[in-house]
Amino acid sequence: MMKTFAELNFPGRLIAVEGLDGSGKSTQIYLLKRWLEAEGVKVYFSEWNSSELVKSATSKGKKRELLTPTTFSLIHATDFADRYERHLLPLLRAGYVVLCDRYIFTAFARDVVRGCPPKWVRGIYNFAALPDIVFFFKADLEVSLNRILEGRPKLKFFEAGMDLRLSADPYESFRIFQGRILEQYLALAGEFKFTVIDANQHVEKQQPFVRKVVGERINLARFRCRRPLPLPPPIPPPDTKPKEVEEDMAA
């Protein structure tokens, strides 16, 4: 049975957010990060598909539309494994609160919808412990689509699920693809006890609830920096120059 980092006695804690593309999860975890930093908590942030070792290959594969469901799954698993071993685990051992924009559940949902066997997908990630908190931002498909299209003209090929040949229309393909992913997420939410948030609400209504849950389930006082950062040296008045500066200028 998979255990959380707390159950494995790690000093740190891991919080993950999951949801459809355009659900607003990235905005919410960014706001959570800023709040924790303001509270003096030691925080580290990591996002899906961001490993320096792997992301260039992933980007090339996506641009050329070369990734099959299996290669897509494996390359994302490689990306995750690299970040997990080199970044997440060391910081969790060092007593940080680690924030993840997407975790293994993204693969559990997307890869299965793309046709990979569920047991096989989960087996790839069996080295990973469970987050201590998972927020699932549940948004309607139309809300997600509108948010994605704000500021850019069209959907990306894999984002819309065009590789699955669901529809020749990218917007219809998006609805079908994301609808199937939503079904997977809803099943995962019950299995892994996600904290479900109504992502159709405004940002301002969601964030207080996120902070409340984090504050109730994690003793943040344990993760505050014991030593504050040193203050910068005082700035001398405009008409006063330190002696050493004057000497340097004279030289």
Percent helix, strand, coil in the chain, to 5, is 50, 10, 35
Indicate whether 2 belongs to any domain: no
Q: Quick one: tokens of 96?
A: 């940080």
pTM of the complete model: 0.86
Spatial separation of the C-alpha atoms in residues 92 and 94, rounded to whole Å:
5
Q: Is 101 domain-assigned?
A: yes
DSSP 8-state class, residue 195:
E
Per-residue pLDDT at 235? 58
Residue 128 has pLDDT above 80, yes or no: yes
- Least confident interval from 37-51, 118-132, 138-152, 206-220: 138-152
> How far is it, in rounded angstroms, from Cα 174 to Cα 186?
18
C-alpha span between 43 and 50 (Å, rounded) = 18
Residue 177, domain member (yes or no) = yes
Mean pLDDT on 195-222:
95
**Residue % of the chain over a pLDDT of 70:** 89
Sheet of 43-47: strands edge to edge?
Answer: 43-47, 97-101, 13-19, 133-138, 195-198
Which pairs with CB-CB distance under 8 Å and at least 24 residues apart come from 162-168?
163/65, 163/67, 163/69, 163/114, 164/113, 164/114, 164/115
* Contact between residue 155 and residue 171 where contact means Cβ atoms under 8 Å apart: yes
Angle between helix 170-191 and 141-149 (nearest 10): 120
- Tell me the CATH number at 167: 3.40.50.300
Q: In the predicted model, what is the mean pLDDT of residues 88-99?
A: 97
Q: 126-130, 194-198, 222-226, 235-239 — which is least confidently predicted?
A: 235-239
| pLDDT interval class at 94 (50, 70, 90) | very high
pLDDT at 241: 45
pLDDT greater than 60 at residue 117: yes
Q: In this structure, is residue 182 part of a structural domain? A: yes
How many domains does the chain contain in total? 1
Name the residue range of residue 139's domain: 13-227
Does residue 36 lie in a domain region? yes
CB contact set of 165 (below 8 Å; sequence gap of 6+): none
Which pLDDT belongs to residue 172? 93
CA distance 82 to 62: 20
* Residue 243, in any domain of the structure: no
* pLDDT for residue 251 is more than 80: no
Q: DSSP class of residue 221? A: G
Query: What confidence score (pLDDT) does residue 237 get?
Result: 53
Q: Is residue 171 part of a domain?
A: yes
Share of the chain above pLDDT 90, in %: 69
133 with 192: CB under 8 angstroms?
no
**pLDDT tens column, 1-27:** 789 999 999 999 999 999 999 999 999
Q: Is residue 248 part of a domain?
A: no
